Amino acid sequence: MPSKIIVTVNSNGRQAASLARVASAVGYNVRAQVRVKEGVVAQELEGLANVTLVEGPLEDQNLVSKLFVGAQLAFINTTFWGDEVAIGRSLAEAAKKAGIQHYIYSSMPDHSVYGNGWPGLPLWSAKFTVENFVRQIGLPSTFVYTGIYNNNFTSLPYPLFCMELQGNGSFEWKAPFHPDVPLPLLDAEHDVGPAVLQLFKDGPRKWSGHRIALAFEVLSPRDICAAFSRGVGRPVTYKHDPSIEIKVSIPIGYREQLQGIEVLFGRYQAPYFGPELSAPDEALRLWEGYRGIEEYAREVFPLEEAANGLNWMN
């Protein structure tokens, strides 16, 4: 059985929790940082064999300095809660000092570096800045760029991925993406863990410095809706709208992200991962047992909707 320790952060998020479940099940020890030991996911992880929760914020330098000690591997997905660049740098420096053998960072592109008038999306640009720092300090590292989560789709009135329930029982997805331009998709809960675990198994000799487009399907909005319709057994239509409607309170900074998406993917129809990466071939070589959007819509979407207090499926 594996005896190595994997460090994860923000471990109640979909990416890190996916890895913690898979890696712990096959014998890896997972040291999983969470801000607080509250919520369904943190409680689930605390109950798993081989998982040790580390509670506290990533702004705590004492916590970060100890987080990687004695570990060999790390999967790091920073978030925009707090100063993401400062936290990302702090984690990388601590991992370097502790001698981490393979550091996998969940990054995203900064489209502004490619010119063409493309704006950089603020929440992605921060990750790209952290990625460059990780490279500069010489960590043996790999970078995964994640596609659009299947789990983003909801009938709740959240912006960009709302599958709005219509009066006739059908769903409508309204977004600025061109109806026929393909988008990369990923079931983060189901597929991040197995793919990242395979990267660890292959090791940095194969993957050091490499960027990987982690998406297992590439479908246009029209095709996404067709697959979703087959899954839920109801009509699902796509409506192109150059403006993203915001009906609920959103986190600070996310409005600017949405405005950038309107321009980058709506006006310019830029490739999602930039011009240098494409999906899904490399992801499929890592993990073939992915959960596609149709399966998600059929088997998971109704459960998540019910958990959110919705009852359209009854």
Q: Facing residues of 218 across strands?
A: 184
Q: What is the pLDDT of residue 40?
A: 92
Q: What is the pLDDT of residue 191?
A: 98
- The answer to whether the beta carbons of residues 182 and 220 sit under 8 Å apart is yes
Q: What is the pLDDT of residue 81?
A: 83
Regions of the chain short of the pLDDT cut 50:
1
Nearest to 153 by CA among 16, 314, 265, 304: 304
What are the backbone dihedrals phi and psi of residue 27, each rounded to the nearest 5 degrees, phi first?
Answer: 105, -5
Grouping H, G, I as helix, E, B as strand and the rest as coil, residue 224 is: helix
What are the backbone dihedrals phi and psi of residue 305, each rounded to the nearest 5 degrees, phi first?
Answer: -65, -45
pTM above 0.85, yes or no: yes
DSSP tag of 119: P
Residue 150 in tokens = 């299947």
Q: How many other C-beta atoms can be found within 10 angstroms of the C-beta atom of residue 274?
A: 20
